[in-house]
Amino acid sequence: MNIGQIIKIKRKELGLTQSEVCEGICSVTHLSKIENNTTNVADDVIQLICKRLNINIEEEKKRIENIELILNKFYEAMIFGKEEMVDEIRDKLEEEYYYIENSDLYILYNLYLMRYYIS
């Protein structure tokens, strides 16, 4: 996941529009390109946007890594038939659903979830 996706997720989570977030920092078009990872962006612009959204990049990266680890544990638990563990992990993933839904992890999550419902 890139910083643009993190910005988009946080912005939506806070219920803010792109124009509210980028006011005085950059154009709406530029923010849109940042969120969609279709432009190179200066570090100072990212820092200003992150400050406005109260985003700690390191914490968000750790959160993503943690979700990826939980997804891997979910898959492994299914493979090894640990049903109780599978249900517990699925519940943890549900707590992060909004984050997963708006990230690159969404497809992987749904693939694993399909396997869960099939087995």
pLDDT of 103 reads 82
Residues 89, 71: contact at Cβ < 8 Å?
no
What is the spatial distance between Cα 107 and Cα 100, in angstroms, rounded to a whole number? 9
Cβ neighbors of 90 (< 8 A, separation 6 or more) are: 74, 113, 116
What is the spatial distance between Cα 8 and Cα 3, in angstroms, rounded to a whole number? 9
Domain ranges of the chain: 3-55, 59-118
pLDDT of 46 reads 96
In this prediction, residues 37-47 reach a mean pLDDT of 94
3-55: CATH number: 1.10.260.40
pLDDT of 61 reads 86
Average pLDDT, the chain: 93
pLDDT of residue 104 exceeding 90 = no
Cβ neighbors of 8 (< 8 A, separation 6 or more) are: 35, 102
- pTM (2 decimals)? 0.78
Q: Write out pLDDT tens, residues 64-80.
A: 899 999 999 999 999 99
pLDDT of 76 reads 97
Using only the alpha carbons of the chain, give its radius of gyration: 17
Residues 7, 55: contact at Cβ < 8 Å?
yes
